[in-house]
Amino acid sequence: MNKEQFISHTNKNFNGHAKELILKQIELFYDNSKIDSYNKYAVGDDVKLSKYNYLHGILGMLDGFDWIAENGFISNDFTDENVHNKISHSVGMWEIKEDILLKDYIKKYSGFTITYTIGRGPGSKEVTELIPYHQFDSYTEELNNREEVWMYWGDQTKEVRFLPSLVANKRQIAFILNLNNPLAQELIKADVWSLDMDEETLKDFLDYRYYDKFLTERLNRNAQTTDRETAIIFGLPAKLIEGVFVGRKVEQDQNALNHIKEKLPNCYICNIDGKVIVGNK
């Protein structure tokens, strides 16, 4: 599909503020497609992430990689009539909240989220925290020794499901986007998770069965729900990709690495140790 088809889809399926918002996003998408924004790394460098970086993972080895490299990140609600997403007409991204080395980010989010109760009964309070990779046993031992903690339960982080990690091989490729330009900053303001998005407009982007639950989650986001997830309306252009980080399977597949570099020649490739394995300087 091209720009005119995306506009036609929007005019056909939306009205009011939601329609205006998507049409603005489409224009910003194509304006951002003219901008190059890269950090330069040599082989062996540690990749640094900042508040200007977003992450997005894909399934499989190179499944869907070429399409994104050529077209960008566009919600499949615009390209496939048979999809049905809880959050529609948007693209999920992981927002980096603070300066952090990629290796530390991967270690942190390859772990667990744990929820525990302070006290029991009607007056009890739930607390949710993040446990980094390989720290589950020591953390739960500490909880077991705290008299005020009544019970606890855990879950894998969503990053384990959607990004290359230290504990799972299901995701082998993720993109690192650089949003350090005014147009990109304007584009990401249209985030379904943002509290600035009014509830009436939200109805056009949420499955009605998920709407009430989403409103609650949006107001009470924590390490589990999550407090770092975004849903950018329409999408983000491929020009914003600065690097690709890969799981162990792709790291050991030279043909796959060559293919990634051929498709994105100005980008670096790094592994889940946060080290650059194919440079761009």
Tell me the DSSP string of 146-188.
-TTEEEEEEEE-HHHHHS--SS--SEEEEEEEE--SHHHHHHT
Q: Judge contact between 106 and 272, C-beta under 8 A.
A: yes
- Predicted confidence at residue 255, as pLDDT, reads 97
Greatest Cα pair distance, the chain, in angstroms, is 62
Domain assignments of the chain as residue spans, ordered by start? 3-103+160-278, 111-156
- Predicted confidence at residue 33, as pLDDT, reads 74
CA distance 126 to 124: 7
- Predicted confidence at residue 37, as pLDDT, reads 64
Beta pairing partners, 60:
171
One-character DSSP codes across 210-236: THHHHHHHHHS--TTTTSSEEEEESEE
Give the dihedral of Cα atoms 31, 33, 38, 44; nearest 10 deg: 160
pLDDT tens for the chain, 281 residues long, are: 799 999 999 999 999 999 999 999 999 999 877 777 678 999 999 999 999 999 999 988 898 999 999 999 999 999 988 888 999 999 999 999 999 999 999 999 999 999 999 999 888 999 999 999 999 899 999 999 999 999 999 999 999 999 999 998 889 999 999 999 888 999 999 999 999 999 999 999 999 999 999 999 999 898 888 899 999 999 999 999 999 999 999 999 999 999 999 999 999 999 999 999 999 98
Q: Judge contact between 73 and 236, C-beta under 8 A.
A: yes
- Predicted confidence at residue 178, as pLDDT, reads 95
Cβ neighbours for 53, distance < 8 A, ≥ 6 positions apart: 96, 176, 177, 178, 179, 242
